[in-house]
Amino acid sequence: MPKMKTHSGAKKRFKKTGTGKITHERAGRRHLLESKSSKRTRRLAAEVQLAPGDTKKAKRMLGLR
């Protein structure tokens, strides 16, 4: 049976931490930043843990268990 390929879109969007959790960047920090407050852009800069419902799907796309 052939090897499973990693989903190209998923590998660009998600990262696995050392403890096995999946993180992603928050949406909304690419453009139109002048109208957003500094407080908001700083909050959006942080990487956050993926929601539990999406973790199983993301792990499968990344080829993890």
CATH of the domain at 24: 4.10.410.60
Q: Which residue has the tokens 């909304």?
A: 28
In a domain, 1, yes or no: no
Q: For the whole model, what pTM was predicted?
A: 0.83
Task: Name the residue range of residue 24's domain.
Answer: 8-62
In a domain, 3, yes or no: no
In a domain, 28, yes or no: yes
Q: What is the pLDDT of residue 65?
A: 75
In a domain, 17, yes or no: yes
**Residue 58 token pair:** 């993301």
Q: How many domains does the chain have?
A: 1
pLDDT digits 0-9 by tens, 25-49: 999 999 999 999 999 999 999 999 9
In a domain, 48, yes or no: yes
CA distances from 30 to 17, 36, 41, 50, 62 (A): 24, 11, 10, 19, 24
**The pLDDT of residue 8 is above 90:** yes
